Each structure stands twice: as structure tokens, then as C-alpha cells.
Amino acid sequence: MHYYLFVNFKTYEEGTGEKALSLARLMASFNTGEVDIIPVCQAAGLLLISQSVPLRVFAQHADPVGFGANTGMILPESLKSAGAFGTIINHAENKRDNDFVKKAIGRCHGAGLKVMACAESLERARQIAKFSPDFLAIEPPELIGGDISVSTANPGLICDSVKEIRKINPQIIVITGAGIKSAGDVAKAIELGTSGVFVASGIVCAKDKEYALQTLLSGFPANKQSRSKAEP
């Protein structure tokens, strides 16, 4: 089984500009290959970060548009050429309807990007699974940014989502998000059947980011190597 630690830089100051690059470099220093550590960057920082660190980098959003007159939209091909490996769609802080999500997944796949779609509920996860994203993150909005993880507050939601999504499309990789702060939260997310976690404040806003990363990585099973920093 392969595991994932997605770190969403959002628009936090610590996830912007030079600070975003430092954070991505710190993440890369923990990259042992046991867990895929994925910075989820602001679009403006993608090119620099993707050229500076040996990690698969995701964008935070893409629009279902093609080349042409679409001022202000985020073109999937543009993300790809900036070095993105994939993108998030329908994050709780940038919600879209199913029509948008379906079209955006199709456009991103057409541009060669992986997609992690987010779902706020079991019902939404069922609907979005039919559009075959590569990853589906279950994130109850009320727990985002808090100190109680979804794996503790609502383990049933995670278990049920894993079961339902597998029935619809067993290829989809299910990820747990919202309020993940400790190694125990990560371990629980894996125990409930998901392949990793989607974290923001627990790392990006942590005073000691190195310690936060090390702590969360230690929650992955049999991840002895990533308990300490990788050799440069």
C-alpha cells in the first residue's frame, strides 16, 4: 500500500512566496519515498516550487476551461506546464457544483493532471466518485482548521466513505482531511481504510514545522525511515 501526506498551503502567509519555497524544501528533506509528501501550492508559486524540489506538486484549484478568452481562470494546461502533477478540485473553501467538478476532472485529465476532488459528506463523495477523480478527500467543513480530527470526531463517515467509494470505483484513492494534528490522527485515518491525509494548519501554521512534519509522518504504518529527516 502506498501512503500520501498532502499539505495544503492555502493562502497562509507561511504558504506564500519565499516562505512557501522554504516549506516545500523542508518537506522535501523528509522525502524517503515511504510516504508521498505532496505540497499543494498557490498557482503563482507552482513553477518555482516544482523546479526547486523533487516532490510531486499539486495546485489548489483548476477551472474547466481550454485555451482562449477566459480571464482570471486557472487553465489546466497552464498548471501542467508550471510543473504541477495534479490539482485539487472542490475544496470546501472553493466549492463547486457537480457539473463543474465533472467537467474540471475531464479537462484536468485531458491536460495530463491527476485530480484530488474533495467531498464534504458521504452523499457528495458518492456523487463525485462517479466522475472518477484519482483521489477523493473526505473533509467535513466544520472540522477544517480545528484541533479535532475527522478521524476522531466522525470515524463512521470515513469508514462508510471508503466502502461506498470502493463500490463505485475501486481505483479511487481515498484520503482523510480536516483537523489532522497528531500522529494518532494519521494512524487512525489509515486504520479506517484511507491511504493518507490532507493537512493544512497542523503543518503550515505550526511554530516548529519540522517537528510537525516529523510527528505526522511517524503516524504512518511501518514508516520507520520517515521518523527522522532524510539524509541530504
Whichever of 92 and 222 has its CB closer to ligand G3P, that residue is 92
Measured from the CB of residue 200, what is the shortest distance to ligand G3P in angstroms?
4
Helix 209-217 to helix 17-29 angle (10° resolution) is 40
With vertex at residue 119, the alpha carbon angle to CA 63 and CA 219, rounded to the nearest 5 degrees, is 110
**Is position 5 an interface residue for ligand G3P (rule: CB under 6 A)?**
no
**Is position 8 an interface residue for ligand G3P (rule: CB under 6 A)?**
yes
Q: Which ranges in the chain belong to alpha helices (H)?
A: 17-29, 46-52, 76-81, 98-110, 122-129, 150-153, 155-168, 183-191, 201-204, 209-217
Helix 183-191 to helix 209-217 angle (10° resolution) is 30
d(CA 114, CA 134): 6
- Contacts of residue 33, defined as CB under 8 A and 6 or more positions apart, other chains included, come to none
Whichever of 65 and 74 has its CB closer to ligand G3P, that residue is 74
Per-residue contact flags (x/-) with ligand G3P for residues 90 to 109, judged by CB under 6 A: -x------------------
d(CA 36, CA 58): 12
CA atoms in the 13 A half-sphere facing the CB of 56 = 14
Measured from the CB of residue 179, what is the shortest distance to ligand G3P in angstroms?
5
Q: Which stretch binds ligand G3P (CB under 6 A): 30-38, 71-79, 137-145, 168-176?
A: 137-145
**Is position 144 an interface residue for ligand G3P (rule: CB under 6 A)?**
yes
**Is position 41 an interface residue for ligand G3P (rule: CB under 6 A)?**
no
Whichever of 75 and 144 has its CB closer to ligand G3P, that residue is 144
C-alpha cell at 224: 520507520
**Is position 23 an interface residue for ligand G3P (rule: CB under 6 A)?**
no
- Residues marked active site are found at 91, 139
Q: CA 141: distance to chain centroid?
A: 15
Measured from the CB of residue 176, what is the shortest distance to ligand G3P in angstroms?
10
Measured from the CB of residue 79, what is the shortest distance to ligand G3P in angstroms?
17
**Is position 145 an interface residue for ligand G3P (rule: CB under 6 A)?**
yes
d(CA 56, CA 70): 27
* Of residues 197-216, those binding ligand G3P (CB under 6 A): 198-202
Among 38, 75, 178, 186, binds ligand G3P (CB under 6 A): 178
**Is position 20 an interface residue for ligand G3P (rule: CB under 6 A)?**
no
User: Which residue has the closest beta carbon to ligand G3P?
Assistant: 201
Can you give the binding site for ligand G3P, defined by CB under 6 A? 8, 91, 139, 144-145, 177-180, 198-202
